[in-house]
């Protein structure tokens, strides 16, 4: 493993400390550029309400920190000089790790939600935590060593309950993990600042930053994948976490009184009844062929396949009805194979059993980011400290001297 070099983005070496207003302005501007991918200086000035002089100073600071680059715009047909275009520095990256029951996915993501590389390592069933750490670290070394990247951090998306304060996995039933210090172990091996959170929660982060949840303050997100079903809830623009960060276990909504036993120990949970492996098996697809699932379900003529889709969709509708009644969201976003179930039947997913007033003001949307939503959302967690205070965050380089 190459020697790590740490550089502070404030460039001060402990010297001048910027005031809180400057820090706040830099965070606001940098966040806008990150989520838009590129904005003109004039548009940033309009959105923030800052005067042109202050905007110029802030952009100069962000450029000095190595976080944004300014480019000349294409010559326009309008009057006056075109406003320069501001983009995130393309070499600022985050590393993502997502263990699934049949694979480990490792990603490298630039600011602006741009995926540079993704690697899928197949596993012989659910990997234990030590295998995830070892194999992920090997890929991270290959991705970063000698490359001209600066790394904001590494984040892990775990299909289970994760303590947000330190990334400690309390329980991941599909893997058999209990009390695993996954974030700490990955940080120790890779040397990168590492955090972890529930996978579904991170998928919601991605959709809220770059997909179907942009600009939505009251939202329920549900995603289905190889490791089950999860979700997250925004209320008034704030994440509903619960007392310890475990809220949003929407895969464990009760949907069937005589249902199958769930890995959590209960019977009739949504994720025990509605599964991606079950749908893949029904149309003869392997786990790695999940991108073909929708086409094969639409093409299927076997009545047994139609019956399974109807069964799964009916139970999903019960779960959606429940979250609409509980949280009164304006938008429900469905991701993973749940969005496939939504699309393969024309019938509305919300039934008359949902409370009428809540039902009338909600829209059910498919996730826009598709298979990338979890990678992009996990990167958002890794970027979170940098986005919150770009003047003070630490970035890591493994570029050769």
Q: What is the mean pLDDT of the chain?
A: 89
Which of 95-109, 243-257, 318-332, 369-383 has the weakest average pLDDT? 243-257
The structure's pTM equals 0.86
How far apart are the C-alpha atoms of 278 and 339, rounded to whole Å? Answer: 16
Residue 259 backbone phi and psi in degrees, to 5: -80, 175
What CATH number belongs to 1-211+374-401?
A: 3.30.420.40
How confident is the model over 333-365, as pLDDT tens digits?
999 999 999 999 877 776 656 666 667 789 999
How confident is the model over 80-130, as pLDDT tens digits?
678 899 999 999 999 999 999 989 999 999 999 999 999 999 999 999 999
Buried b (16+ CB within 10 A) or exposed e, 7-16: eebbeeeeee
| pLDDT (0 to 100) of residue 355 | 66
Distances (CA, A) of 336 to 176, 187, 228, 293, 324: 23, 29, 10, 11, 20
| pLDDT (0 to 100) of residue 206 | 95
What is the rounded radius of gyration, in angstroms, for the C-alpha atoms of the chain? 22
How confident is the model over 213-272, as pLDDT tens digits?
999 999 999 999 988 999 999 999 999 988 877 888 899 999 999 989 998 889 999 999
Quick check: do 1-211+374-401 and 212-367 share a fold? yes
User: pLDDT at residue 401 above 60?
Assistant: no
Share above pLDDT 70 across residues of the chain, in percent, rounded to a whole number: 90
CA–CA–CA angle 25, 48, 221 (5° rounding): 90
Residue whose C-alpha is closest to residue 224's, from 283, 171, 175, 274: 274
Residue whose C-alpha is closest to residue 157's, from 393, 373, 398, 13: 373
User: pLDDT at residue 185 above 60?
Assistant: yes
Question: Alpha carbon 284 to chain centroid distance?
Answer: 29
What CATH number belongs to 212-367?
A: 3.30.420.40
| pLDDT (0 to 100) of residue 153 | 97
Q: Taking residues 363-385, what's their average pLDDT?
A: 94
* Boundaries of every domain in the chain: 1-211+374-401, 212-367
How far apart are the C-alpha atoms of 236 and 268, rounded to whole Å? Answer: 31
- Contact in structure between 276 and 193 (CB atoms under 8 Å): no
């Amino acid at each position: 493993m190459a020697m790590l070099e740490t550089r502070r983005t404030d460039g001060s070496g402990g010297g001048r400390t910027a005031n809180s207003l400057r820090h706040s302005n830099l965070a606001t501007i940098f966040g806008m550029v990150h989520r838009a991918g590129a904005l003109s200086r004039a548009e940033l000035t309009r959105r923030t309400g800052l005067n042109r002089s202050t905007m110029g100073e802030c952009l100069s600071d962000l450029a000095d920190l190595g976080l944004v680059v300014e480019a000349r715009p294409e010559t326009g047909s309008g009057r006056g000089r075109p406003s320069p275009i501001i983009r995130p520095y393309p070499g600022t990256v985050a590393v993502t790790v997502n263990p699934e029951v049949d694979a480990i996915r490792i990603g490298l993501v630039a600011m602006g939600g741009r995926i540079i590389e993704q690697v899928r390592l197949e596993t012989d069933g659910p990997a234990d935590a030590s295998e995830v750490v070892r194999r992920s670290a090997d890929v991270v070394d290959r991705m970063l060593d000698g490359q001209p990247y600066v790394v904001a951090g590494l984040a892990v998306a775990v299909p289970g309950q994760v303590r947000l304060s330190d990334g400690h996995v309390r329980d991941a039933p599909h893997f058999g993990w209990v009390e695993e210090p996954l974030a700490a172990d990955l940080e120790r091996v890779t040397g990168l600042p590492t955090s972890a959170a529930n996978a579904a929660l991170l998928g919601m982060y991605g959709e809220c930053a770059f997909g179907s949840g942009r600009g939505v303050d009251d939202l329920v997100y549900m995603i289905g994948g190889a490791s089950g079903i999860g979700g997250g809830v925004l209320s008034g623009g704030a994440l509903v976490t619960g007392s310890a960060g475990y809220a949003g276990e929407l895969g464990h909504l009760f949907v069937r009184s005589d249902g199958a036993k769930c890995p959590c120990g209960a019977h009739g949970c949504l994720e025990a009844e509605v599964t991606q492996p079950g749908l893949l098996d029904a149309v003869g697809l392997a786990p790695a062929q999940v991108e073909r699932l929708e086409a094969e379900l639409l093409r299927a003529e076997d009545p047994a396949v139609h019956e399974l889709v109807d069964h799964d969709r009916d139970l999903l509708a019960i779960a959606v009805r429940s979250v609409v009644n509980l949280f009164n969201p304006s938008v429900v976003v469905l991701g993973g194979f749940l969005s496939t179930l939504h699309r393969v039947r024309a019938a509305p997913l919300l039934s008359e059993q949902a409370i009428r007033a809540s039902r009338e003001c909600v829209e059910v949307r498919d996730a826009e980011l598709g298979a990338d939503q979890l990678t992009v959302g996990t990167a958002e967690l890794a970027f979170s400290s940098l986005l919150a205070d770009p003047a003070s965050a630490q970035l890591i380089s493994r570029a050769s001297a």
